[in-house]
Amino acid sequence: MARVRELLDDGIARLRESGSETARLDAELLLAHALDTDRTAILAHTDAPVGDGSAARFEASLDRRAAGEPVAYIRGIKEFHGLAFGVDPRALIPRPETERLVELAELEVMRRLLGAPRPAGSPPVRVIDVGVGSGAVAVTLAVLLRRRRMLEEVALAATDVSEDALQLARENAVAHAVGDRIEFSAADLLSGSDTTPWDVVAANLPYVRSATMPNLPVAASFEPAMALDGGPDGLAVIGRLLDQLPSGLAHGGVALLEIGGDQEAELQALVTERLPGWSCEVERDLGGLPRVAVLRREGTDAGAPPA
């Protein structure tokens, strides 16, 4: 009977040969998955014997990973902002960079709820996640607002053109007990969603340039291309959303758009062209790269930032 250390060593060597840049981490996660435990446990018990059934499951997972399939799809789970999300080829795998989008959306909601006194009977802050995918942004935001006891004062919605992605997002919302707090609907960006303007629009839309698609890591080929391909300049889908914002975003509202690390200047120029008079600042991610464009529409201020 093989032991944890032996299986890990063999798995790491095999994944390195197949071209994985994170062979050790991949092997550890996949063995933990095969043993129905976590990575910490297997690292703490490297001399533990592994049954034939678990070893066979690990071997099958290695086969899939060596062929390029993402670890997240093999495990069926991806951690995002401290939460576990179910993932599969119905939607893009959540990336750590997108956590910045969630953080900014949460701050914007807090700004509206805490920045100025809200009279009794005030309408809820209206927030929509455009292109919801797996639900990582909308669901995480709902969970964070629930922890702050603010969710009752927010109307949260999410759209996607893919019915499969919407179903996955609903499953993740239910898993995190916010399924009844997010209104999901099939729509092309904001088109077809609630016609009342939104206070906060958050969107992680496709922004990879079409010519770059063939050069992406093999793992990306397992994800839905429509969730990655942003057209010739990477801004085709984002540009269509910009065109919808004058009717979809309330005066004084904000749109938060995730972009590629090399798209800041192009995005700024596009906003200047299509949304004259709107402000646009770009927030950096932890790596210092441009990551989230913050578009503000002139109008009544919703309140000052919370202390």
- The 10s digit of each residue's pLDDT in 182-213 is 999 999 999 876 679 999 999 999 999 999 99
Pairing relation of β-strands 198-203 and 125-130?
A: parallel
* Element containing residue 182 per DSSP (H, E): strand 182-186
Please tell me the predicted confidence (pLDDT) of residue 306.
Answer: 40
The burial of 232, by beta-carbon neighbours within 10 Å (0-12 exposed, 13-18 middle, 19 or more buried), is given as: exposed
User: How many angstroms separate the CA atoms of 222 and 210, rounded?
Assistant: 16
What is the pTM (predicted TM-score) of this model? 0.93
Nearest to 156 by CA among 168, 134, 173, 133: 173
User: How many angstroms separate the CA atoms of 170 and 182, rounded?
Assistant: 9
Q: Cβ atoms within 10 A of the Cβ of 306, count?
A: 11
Domains in the chain with CATH codes = 4-67 (1.10.8.10), 90-296 (3.40.50.150)
Question: pLDDT tens track of the chain, all 307 residues?
Answer: 899 999 999 999 999 999 999 999 999 999 999 999 999 999 999 999 999 999 999 999 999 999 999 999 999 999 999 999 999 999 999 999 999 999 999 999 999 999 888 888 899 999 999 999 999 999 999 999 999 999 999 999 999 999 999 999 999 999 999 999 999 999 999 987 667 999 999 999 999 999 999 999 999 999 999 999 999 999 999 999 999 999 999 999 999 999 999 999 999 999 999 999 999 999 999 899 999 999 999 875 444 444 3
The burial of 289, by beta-carbon neighbours within 10 Å (0-12 exposed, 13-18 middle, 19 or more buried), is given as: middle
